[in-house]
Amino acid sequence: MAVYAVGDIQGCFKPLKKLLKKVEFDPAVDTLWCVGDLVNRGPDSLETLRYLKGLGDACICILGNHDLHLLELAAGGRSFRGDTFSEVTRAEDFDALIEWLRFRPMIHTDQTLGWAMVHAGLHPKWTLEKASKKARKIEEKLRGEDWKTFCLQLQSYHLPPGNPKDKLEKQLFATAVMTRTRYCNKDGLFDWQNISNYSAKVLEKPWFRHNKLAWRGDIRIVFGHWAAKGLVDDQAHVLGLDSGCVWGGRMTLAQLDSNKPKLISISCPACQSIR
């Protein structure tokens, strides 16, 4: 019995299957954690969704920004250059896949295992308990009857650097923190534009590198989202698994049920050939 976490899949189904074959993943006894961004930009988003949905309780997927983007499209929102959703949106089981997707969590925590999972990051002033409460409020929105309205609000929302005062805007902002974070300062002012692996701003650091982090404790955080940063495996309190498969890099899997996570990665020839 093992627990594995995989970095951003983004529709790269074949390397995912190869990774799972390498570790002899058995859904009857093993569990797969997916850090979000299951879909988009890669060649096989539809096959990826169908496979993960079919794993049932053996797979725990949280929502990333590209997954939310698919929900926004399903709600009537606009598409963006580079989207590869056409096969998904034309599929006969599209509605069932969207229904499954919008019921995925924003954060997953396993106290016994000692790990929590979020797609991009956490606010430096949030405890994990506070972040989880915010996640549940967002999940209520996405699972409710008015989910389409919330998704359209997400797509049109102009993100401020810091926490707003309006109740709805607080939820939209918290969603962005969990799915889009890279750099911020110690007070929780976020730089939403910088997607590189370097910031010239003196007070700005990766969200997990500040000295005082309210969420830091016994639980370690596994995350994805930041392909430019690559693997983050040199920190005691976090593990970053987005090694840029869809950008011609590699897909990485980590076994979490050990003191030191065991990492295995594989390239995606289909993505390497088109980048």
For position 111, which CATH number holds? 3.60.21.10
Q: Which residues pair with 107 in a beta bridge?
A: 118
Mean pLDDT of the chain: 95
Tell me the pLDDT tens digit for each residue of 183-240: 999 999 999 999 999 898 888 999 999 999 999 998 999 999 999 999 999 999 999 9
What the block records as the tokens of 127 is 């405890």
Tell me if residue 221 falls in helix, strand or coil: strand
Average pLDDT over residues 83-88: 96
Angle among Cα 249, 175, 147 to the nearest 5 degrees reads 110
Tell me the pLDDT tens digit for each residue of 15-36: 999 999 999 999 999 999 999 9
| Domain coverage including residue 241 | 3-272
Tell me the pLDDT tens digit for each residue of 182-193: 999 999 999 999
Q: Which of 83, 87, 92 is nearest to 48 (CA)?
A: 87
Q: What is the DSSP string of 161-178?
A: SS--SSHHHHHHHHHHHH
Would you say 8 and 224 are in contact if contact means Cβ atoms under 8 Å apart?
yes
Would you say 34 and 51 are in contact if contact means Cβ atoms under 8 Å apart?
no
Q: Is the pLDDT of residue 273 over 60?
A: no
- The position carrying tokens 């639980």 is 219
Q: Is the pLDDT of residue 46 over 60?
A: yes
Measured CA to CA, the distance from residue 254 to residue 94 in angstroms comes to 30
**Domain count of the fold of the chain:** 1
Measured CA to CA, the distance from residue 176 to residue 159 in angstroms comes to 8
Measured CA to CA, the distance from residue 57 to residue 52 in angstroms comes to 10
Q: Which of 87, 69, 88 is nearest to 78 (CA)?
A: 69
Q: Give the pLDDT confidence score for residue 96 in this predicted structure.
A: 98
Altogether, the residues listed in the chain come to a count of: 275
